[in-house]
Structure 1
Amino acid sequence: MDYMASRKAWIEKELPVFLQRASIPSKLKDSMVYSLMAGGKRIRPVLLFATLDTLGEKEEKGLATAIALEMIHTYSLIHDDLPAMDNDELRRGKPTNHVVFGEATATLAGDGLLTCAFQIIAADDQLSDACKSGLVLRLARAAGPEGMVGGQEDDLEAEDKFLSLEELMSVHRRKTGKLIKFPVEAAALIAGASEQEEKSLSGYADHLGLAFQIGDDILDIAGNEKDLGKPIGSDLVNHKNTYVSLLTVNGAREKLAEHIQRAKGFLSEGKFDGGILSELADYLLHRTS
């Protein structure tokens, strides 16, 4: 997908600029940049840019927010990989942060990325103070204990327990879905979308977030280790509740397709179908990493 490739290249060019200019202890800076630039799909920033484009707003107005969002996503991965959490030694085919820099510095690198994210939004001179305040509030909710962090705790508490499909969806709406939903809603705020437009885009993003997690669960079992850049089967080893463990691989694939279809239904409702957001939904349906 050409759009995704071009926006991925753009965000990766801009991601390290703030850290390179900031006065940060050298080892900590190296640790932060190491994980921030370790690759990945950059789906969250791309979603933000694509939603701005769909709403007829300049994508440049979302650049600082996109950088902040990717910093928060990266911090969560650093902390996920720590021995106290998933204890992973590979991320995207490279040694995880704590393996390279030590557990203490890796923890601080995650803390640093988290707090830098809000600094970057607050300093964005392209947006009004009211818009920046709204973005900070939404991002804090999406990333914090009401969102991703709370979902991670739910996920830990659910290990070695059996969750129903509804309970699993509730976990993943917070753990993964909130930070997939945020860029779409952030773009709607930046672009001054109408209430109806925001409602349609929010419904799209809700189902996209669930689809993203289902895809991850499928790839953890049926993916290619080289494409994923980490060992497959880690969810099974860690006794995680997944859509595959609950529904089987084929059942999870059916559920993935269902959520993609429902996401695209919300695009049709808002008269946004047939564009970049629809293409991104199709990408998530067929992705291999």
Structure 2
Amino acid sequence: MGSGIVQLAAYRAFEVQRQEASNAMMGLLAGAQLASHLLQLTEGSDTLLPEVFPRVPHIRRFNLRTEAARSILQSADTHLGAMSVPYALALHEDFLKTCVGLLIRDGRAPSSAGSAVLAQLHDGIETATGQTFDADSIIQIDTIRLMRNATIHSGGRAHQALVDKVARWTPTAEAGWVRIAKKSLATIAVGDRVEFGHPELILTLAVTKSLGRQANVILRDSLSRTLWARLVIEDVLAEEPGNLNRHQLERKVAGKARRHYASLKLTDYELTAAMRVVLANT
């Protein structure tokens, strides 16, 4: 079916959300360090921050002296990571659910697959398509997911499921983890503190980006050309809420197919047939 990513509407939305989330997370991390640096100007002062910066919104909720405030800000990456990683995983899970929904629509997955959660979605896509995700990426996302679960459900302490998952790491999965996170979890034991810092956040964003692209390619090679053609038509109609005449629609569909669905090499005949079906059902 050709090579390259298919820029279907759901994937474009996922990429925008992922990038916006990444920018916001990095902004918060940088902002905390910038604020800490700024507070060096008031070092040694006994004045509370609301008196020093009265015009800063919400500053009264941070009613501390400089030294205490700087201590919190300098360690903020751990807390921000604990909040940001679940958000990044949620965006990834939502995109995978969209992928499964398309497989269900195409008759390649049972309707029950739509109720799967993150721990099941990659397997579900593999089962429905006969294709596979990169094994090391799956090991890494499963580890991150279990770290998230430990943070939320186990008081931030490693549980047996996480320890067992790390014990099954391959050398290449560990090397990929260490390359970004700069440390290994190989010695983690039940009850150890699980922390998300800046490196773990970067790792999460990298792994979800990679798996999102892999899911895209799996869909590209698995969904029927009939469904792909219909998705092009639906994509155009979603962006054009007004009424288009037949000529305008054909022109926009052809442009959309070239711009966002080029790797599929859909023919005019396939697009015209899909247009008739979609218009008949709208």
TM-score with structure 1 setting the length: 0.25
TM-score normalized with structure 2 length: 0.25
Larger-Rg structure: 2
Q: Answer 1 or 2: higher relative contact order, Cα 8 Å, separation at least 6.
A: 2
